[in-house]
């Protein structure tokens, strides 16, 4: 909003030129998000207490669990405010990537809010029916997948040798000149390409999968792509929701993941760095740094109140949104195949539940008695059952998250 305002003003205002730089606006988004989360977050927590929007805790035999009874929930509203307000203030609102992230944030935040509202005010511990959650996640998956595949402003560019440039359609080429006068040609592409980690020549086109069936099948690549996007958003969103079981766990790991995605978005949107790293150049993707700055500030600010012992829980309002946001960011920067690495904490937490439930049902059917792999799932509760303190579990999960984030960034060069 401020970027467009200063662009529209005919006369120069001291300092307004700084809004032309993504780095400045991203930094301002972090600061604004921290102020909103820390300053206004306190008021939101007080309002939640007045309305008795407290967490209802089942006794699962975990140490310190019952002490969380009555802690305000729906604190994800703090995170959503910390993301949306700075983004609206400092980002280019005509950027398709920013618009897509705003839609994703509001969409998934609304689904989580409805779930929390039913639990708290309708006194229904089940919350929003699972089928409605899935419908909502599938809906945003269809929107994201269709926009990325069909929108004309979402394109990638790849460098082509100068000797081949004369043989290609000039309208599909763009050129830029380095400081030493060397000219480079970039081929403009509209294709569902992504990046395969740890591999040289690491671009992968989804149409190549359908090409194995037949040439005509490539016409339906958009169907495959949207299905993949739906699966990714649903899986990561639910993974974040499952991970949100200890004070600061989901918030801290999400902040680590989004910081890594910020690095990936920045280098992918910079023509010099993308050429040096031999990765896809994605025009206008760098604007996501403003959104990511706002999200990073929101997570850190919320962690001030959510760290052990938590003064507020994010609830599904925050956890469903955070997971979906991270998945969508990874899709937009064409790094969705890195999600098992970057979101390793979410993946393992998800798998622990699937394995536990699956093994229990299998052994009950085969032996007449259900058996368990873990003492309790998700995985963080297994460690609690082993007698490890909650804060130590969270700290160790953060350390694992940092290592996975570093590994994700290293894949830019490790091939």
Residue pLDDT, tens place only, 51-96: 877 766 665 667 666 667 778 889 999 999 999 999 999 999 999 9
Predicted local confidence at residue 415, as pLDDT: 73
State how far the alpha carbon of 327 is from the alpha carbons of 140, 188, 320, 333, 344, in Å. Answer: 11, 25, 11, 10, 12
| Domain-wise residue ranges, the chain | 2-11+24-155+190-410
Q: Give the least confident one: 15-19, 52-56, 379-383.
A: 52-56
Percentage of residues of the chain with pLDDT beyond 70 = 88
What value, to the nearest 5°, has the Cα angle with vertex 241 and ends 309 and 396? 50
From the list 292, 287, 314, the residue with the least C-alpha distance to 302 is: 314
Position 324 pLDDT exceeds 60: yes
State how far the alpha carbon of 276 is from the alpha carbons of 26, 159, 360, 371, 413, in Å. Answer: 23, 11, 50, 53, 10
Instruction: Mention every residue, 6+ apart, whose C-beta is less than 8 A from residue 248.
Output: 303, 306, 307, 308, 310, 394
Greater confidence (161 vs 119) lies with 119
pTM exceeds 0.85, yes or no: yes
Tell me the C-alpha distance between 413 and 314, whole Å: 36
Predicted local confidence at residue 179, as pLDDT: 53
Q: Give the least confident one: 5-14, 219-228, 346-355.
A: 5-14
Q: Tell me the average pLDDT across 10-29.
A: 82
Could you give the dihedral angle defined by the CA atoms of residues 78, 82, 88 and 92, in that order, rounded to the nearest 10 degrees?
Answer: -140
| pLDDT band with cut points at 50, 70 and 90 for residue 270 | confident
* pLDDT tens digit sequence for 170-182: 655 566 555 556 6
> Do residues 191 and 156 make contact, with C-beta atoms less than 8 angstroms apart?
yes
Predicted local confidence at residue 49, as pLDDT: 86
Predicted local confidence at residue 161, as pLDDT: 61
Looking at every residue in the chain, the average pLDDT score rounds to 87
Predicted local confidence at residue 235, as pLDDT: 95
Position 198 pLDDT exceeds 90: no
């Amino acid at each position: 909003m401020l970027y467009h305002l200063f662009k529209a003003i005919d006369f120069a205002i001291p300092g307004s030129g700084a809004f032309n730089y993504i780095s400045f606006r991203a930094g301002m988004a972090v600061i604004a998000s921290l102020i909103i989360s820390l300053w206004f977050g306190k008021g939101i927590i007080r309002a939640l207490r007045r309305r008795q929007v407290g967490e209802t805790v089942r006794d699962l035999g975990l140490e310190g669990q019952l002490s969380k009874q009555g802690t305000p929930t729906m604190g994800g509203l703090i995170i959503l405010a910390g993301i949306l307000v700075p983004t609206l203030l400092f980002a280019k609102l005509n950027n398709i990537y920013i618009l897509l992230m705003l839609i994703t944030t509001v969409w998934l935040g609304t689904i989580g809010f409805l779930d929390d509202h039913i639990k708290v005010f309708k006194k229904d511990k089940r919350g929003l029916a699972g089928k409605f959650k899935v419908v909502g996640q599938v809906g945003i998956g269809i929107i994201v997948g269709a926009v990325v595949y069909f929108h004309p402003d979402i394109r990638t560019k790849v460098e082509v040798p100068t000797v081949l440039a004369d043989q290609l359609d000039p309208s599909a080429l763009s050129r830029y000149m380095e400081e030493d006068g060397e000219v480079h040609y970039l081929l403009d592409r509209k294709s569902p390409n992504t990046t395969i980690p740890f591999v040289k020549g690491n671009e992968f086109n989804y149409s190549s999968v359908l090409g194995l069936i037949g040439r005509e099948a490539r016409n339906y690549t958009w169907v495959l792509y949207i299905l993949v996007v739906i699966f990714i958003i649903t899986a990561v969103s639910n993974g974040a929701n499952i991970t949100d079981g200890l004070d600061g766990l989901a918030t801290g790991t999400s902040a680590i993941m989004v910081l890594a995605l910020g690095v990936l978005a920045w280098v992918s949107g910079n023509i010099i760095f993308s050429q040096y790293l031999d990765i896809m150049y994605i025009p206008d993707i760098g604007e996501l740094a403003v959104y990511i700055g706002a999200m990073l500030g929101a997570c850190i600010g919320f962690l001030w109140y959510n760290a052990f012992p938590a003064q507020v829980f994010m609830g599904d309002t925050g956890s469903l949104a955070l997971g979906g946001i991270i998945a969508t960011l990874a899709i937009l920067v064409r790094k969705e195949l890195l999600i098992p690495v970057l979101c390793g904490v979410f993946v393992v937490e998800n798998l622990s539940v699937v394995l536990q439930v699956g093994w229990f049902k299998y052994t009950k059917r085969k032996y007449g008695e259900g058996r368990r792999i873990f003492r309790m799932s998700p995985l963080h509760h297994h460690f609690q059952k082993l007698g490890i303190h909650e804060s130590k579990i969270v700290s160790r999960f953060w350390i694992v998250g940092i290592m996975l984030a570093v590994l994700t960034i290293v894949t830019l060069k490790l091939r």
